[in-house]
Amino acid sequence: MNSKKIATSKRRPSISIKKFITAALFAAITLLAALATYMWASRRTPRTRMPNASNVERVPSAPFFLPARRELPLSPVHEADVEKMEAVSTAFLQSWNAYRRHGWGFDEYHPLSKVGSNLLGSSDSPLGFTIVDALDMLILQGLQREYEEARDWIRDVLHWDLDGRLNVFETTIRVMGGLLSASALMRNPPPDSLPASLEDAQMFQDKAEQLAWRLLPAFETPTGIPKREINLATGESFYDKDNFNSSSLAEATTIQLEFKYLAHLTKNQRYWYMAENPMFFVREATRPPRQGLLPIFLDPQSGAPLLGEVRLGSRGDSYYEYLVKQYLQTNYTETVYHDMYEHAFDGIKSTLLGEFTGIDPPLLYTMELFPRRVQQQIAWARRTKQDHLVCFLGGAMMLGASVHADGTLHPPFNDSLATAAMQEDWRVGHELVRSCVNTYTESATGLGAEIVFFQPPNEMKPGTRPWMVKRVNRTRDPSMAPPIDSRNILRPETVESLYIAFQLTGDPLYREWGWSIFQAFQRWCQVDKGYGGYAGIDDVDSLDHQLIDRMETFWLSETLKYLYLLFAPRNKISLRHWVFNTEAHPLPVFAPIFPTDIN
């Protein structure tokens, strides 16, 4: 099939002059926004070099000296920390059983009110968010009874005739990704997991493909960049009207691992090119000598990025995560994604890194760019805002720095194939992990906030910490929580990076940091001593905080999984043979049968 073929629209009757003028104005505004973004993306940054595909050696690009490199352990840890691993397993079982008692079959669980709810509202329209999201954790822990109950519900109850609007990205990464991961694990289970079952594996695969088929209409745009929402029952798909009918960068470029693995299983190239189409337009927008960074919205009609914020948090984050992971998933064959990763991460280092020098050693952090108009021209300003979501970045940089051309995966030191830029990636990655851990250890509760703002050293008062949070205003309606606040909602990104770092090094420091975080969850987030599940808190900087009546599904599927694997034997899941999707569902590495047409 021609993956770049542009669909033609049907000829329509003539329209009024007023509608014509409105349409022309909208087109002009869109064109100007795309042009301004192109001019921004095309500017050269002195520290950014073109990727290796251009035969130019990649060089270090961080704009300051980094703290001294942490030495790798002479005797890496390989064995499990059984006591801590079992403590995490207990927390998982308490959470699972609370959901099972009070919310079974519903998409989400509310631990304070002890009820379940569905994304579509109706009690008979579950999407399987919690059950499917937690399925691979049941397999990895060898929980036979719990697994069989979840499997039977998926086989006998779960269906896709769901009449309502569902987010395409969330449905793909959580439900389709969870089913595909369970299918892969039941074909080839890791050590100390449930025994293989080819029958179950095929059932999960079939369910995933049926869901994928229902998602197809969302990808029927001129570029193949998907719309935001889909009605699985009717096939109607919907643009994001709140954001000028655009598609977010992260959502359009974080369905690739799932659809590519499904294409590999089914030998259906349609799924493959559904994943490749959005990447084609992103590649064009970032092709050297343009910048490797992109604003957070794409135009699904033209494929062009729209003028707007550039950030590594919400709506941008997993685009950068999936660049190196696509290269790993396809067994180091799709080199274009490794080139794109290097190009983008050079841009991150040279453009979006900040350094807090008010303490020793300094802390690295990330910033955001936002456009503003200055004398009829677009200028770019920085702000020192860092989402908790950005804490995936440290682990992603360490993972990318460990990818070697000879097909091995190990830290880039004492290796003739490792470049200075790879070593810098590793060091920046470690320092970003350390900064994210700092946002936990230096809060009143030991838990990290949703969003922090790093402070300029010259504005700090003596004895204060490098970052601040905006506190929750409890006089407001609790359902109207501010988007910038001091909540912790059980997010996984920091422990995700700790798991990756430990897997690559065996350094016990990462386990120490992870255990400290787990203990804070235990102290502040348990409901009824854990038997009622776990809940987020509304203010990490107050010991007088309040619990939030929601146990996010990623608590089961991501946060506890990464903590469990952090203390499990290092050979439990090999990062050379498995790739975790952005919802922490492991998918196997494979040799692709469909060639990429992106270069």
Annotated binding site: 582
**Pair type for strands 165-167 and 229-231:** antiparallel
Separation CA 46–CA 61 (nearest Å): 9
Alpha helices in 141-268 (DSSP H): 144-156, 168-170, 177-187, 198-215, 249-252, 256-266
Contact 246, 240 (CB under 8 A): yes
Is 493 labeled as catalytic in the residue annotation? yes
In DSSP notation, 407-458 reads: S-B--SSS-TT--HHHHHHHHHHHHHHHHHHHHHHTSSSS---SEEEEPPGG
* Residue written as token pair 């991150």: 348
Closest to 137 measured CA to CA, from 450, 557, 580: 557
User: Two tokens at 49?
Assistant: 């070099």
| Catalytic choice (170, 355, 415, 485) | 170
Separation CA 482–CA 305 (nearest Å): 28
Is 170 labeled as catalytic in the residue annotation? yes
The distance from CA 577 to its chain's CA centroid, rounded to whole angstroms, is 20
* Residue written as token pair 């490199």: 69
Per residue, the 3-state secondary structure of 477-519, as one string, reads CHHHCCCCCCCECCCCHHHHHHHHHHHHHCCHHHHHHHHHHHH
E-state strands within 15-114: 108-110
Is 136 labeled as catalytic in the residue annotation? no
Per residue, the 3-state secondary structure of 292-341, as one string, reads CCCCCEECCCCCCECCCCECCCCCCHHHHHHHHHHHHHCCCCCHHHHHHH
Alpha helices in 217-293 (DSSP H): 249-252, 256-266, 269-286
The distance from CA 348 to its chain's CA centroid, rounded to whole angstroms, is 17
Contact 342, 331 (CB under 8 A): no
Separation CA 206–CA 212 (nearest Å): 10
Is 108 labeled as catalytic in the residue annotation? no
Contact 418, 412 (CB under 8 A): yes
Separation CA 296–CA 319 (nearest Å): 10
Cis peptide before 289 (omega within 30 of 0): yes
| Catalytic choice (229, 450, 539, 552) | 450
| Catalytic choice (317, 368, 496, 583) | 317
Separation CA 43–CA 22 (nearest Å): 32
Contact 443, 401 (CB under 8 A): no
Closest to 153 measured CA to CA, from 230, 213, 100: 100
To 5 degrees, how large is the angle CA 571–CA 329–CA 288? 130
- The annotation places the binding site for Ca(2+) at 582
Q: Is the dihedral of CA 439, 444, 446, 447 positive or negative?
A: negative
Task: List the beta bridge partners of residue 468.
Answer: 453
Contact 515, 95 (CB under 8 A): no
How many other CB atoms are there within 10 angstroms of residue 17's CB atom?
A: 7
Q: Which residues are catalytic?
A: 170, 317, 450, 493
